[in-house]
A = this chain, B = another copy of it.
Amino acid sequence: MAYELYYWPGIQGRGEFVRLALEEAGADYVDVARVANGEFALATLLENGDFARPPFAPPFLKDRDLIIGQTAAILLYLGDRHDLAPKDAPGRLWVHQIQLTIADLIGEAHDTHHPLGADLYYREQMPEALRRAATFRKERIPKYLGWFERILIRNREGAGYLVGDGISYADLSLFQAVEGLAYAFPKGAETALADAPHVAALRRSIAQRPRIRAYLESDRRIQFNEQDIFRRYPELDRD
């Protein structure tokens, strides 16, 4: 039976980390909100679902009777089932730790255009966004990418992977995070990636994996846009 992914239909958002794992795994899944009446199904399930274990927010994944919310928890589940995480307990935990740090980066990326909160439009918080984005570009992106770079360099087991000698969901998520940064902050990301060549190489190699490449070229891949976490507002990428 196919997985059902529930996430907002018009954006990559946090759902994209789940999509990439499902695509790399070659798993059968339905992106529920993108099919007919799917957004209604999502809202209904979220608001009226009488589950003992209700999800708090999208994305959530349904696997028969099991419903799992929270991106990192979904990936923990899929990692075990589709060989996208090491089998040994320390390696499995280390992949998860990296994923949670990527989640922190994603949260900070979102806050660059919405520092005052999601209940105001971007244009209502532009001065604050300009300030926040400058700090993010100059300090935070290099700090995060520097950490991923160190991890890649120090992984003696497998060149080109964050953990062990094979792909994990953290590799896919780092690819997505870097793609997002490069979309939102073309100049800022280019500068930071010049100092993180292993991260840049991972980004290229993930994009060339057969299933990921096919996915990126398909219409299942939603394009980056300005309703999403990563938004290209040129003024936020200027000094």
Using a CB-CB cutoff of 8 Å, which residues 190-215 of chain A contact chain B?
A: none
- Closest CB-CB distance, A120 to chain B, in whole Å? 8
The answer to whether A66 has its CB under 8 Å from any CB of chain B is yes
The answer to whether A52 has its CB under 8 Å from any CB of chain B is yes
Copies in the complex: 2
The answer to whether A220 has its CB under 8 Å from any CB of chain B is no
**Residue A66 contacts which of B73, B90, B150 (CB distance < 8 angstroms)?**
B90
> Which residues of B lie under 8 Å from residue A101 when comparing CB positions?
56, 69-70
Contact check, A52 vs B156: say whether CB atoms are below 8 A apart. yes
- Closest CB-CB distance, A220 to chain B, in whole Å? 26
> Which residues of B lie under 8 Å from residue A131 when comparing CB positions?
116-117
The answer to whether A29 has its CB under 8 Å from any CB of chain B is no
Contact check, B155 vs A132: say whether CB atoms are below 8 A apart. no
- Of the candidates A94, A97, A156, the one having the most CB atoms from chain B within 10 angstroms of its own CB is A97
Band of interface residues on A: 35 or more
A233–B72 alpha-carbon span in the complex (Å)? 33
A30–B101 alpha-carbon span in the complex (Å)? 25
| CB closest residue in chain B, given A77 | B93
A135–B55 alpha-carbon span in the complex (Å)? 22
- Closest CB-CB distance, A14 to chain B, in whole Å? 11
Residues of A participating in the B interface, judged by any CB pair closer than 8 Å? 51-56, 66, 68-70, 72-73, 76-77, 90, 93-94, 96-97, 100-101, 104, 107, 111, 115-117, 119, 128, 131-132, 135, 144, 147, 150-151, 154-156
Ordered by A's residue number, 21 sampled pairs between the chains whose C-beta atoms are within 8 Å are A51-B154, A52-B154, A52-B155, A53-B94, A54-B154, A56-B144, A68-B93, A70-B97, A72-B72, A73-B100, A76-B96, A107-B107, A111-B111, A111-B117, A115-B116, A115-B117, A115-B128, A116-B116, A116-B132, A117-B131, A117-B132
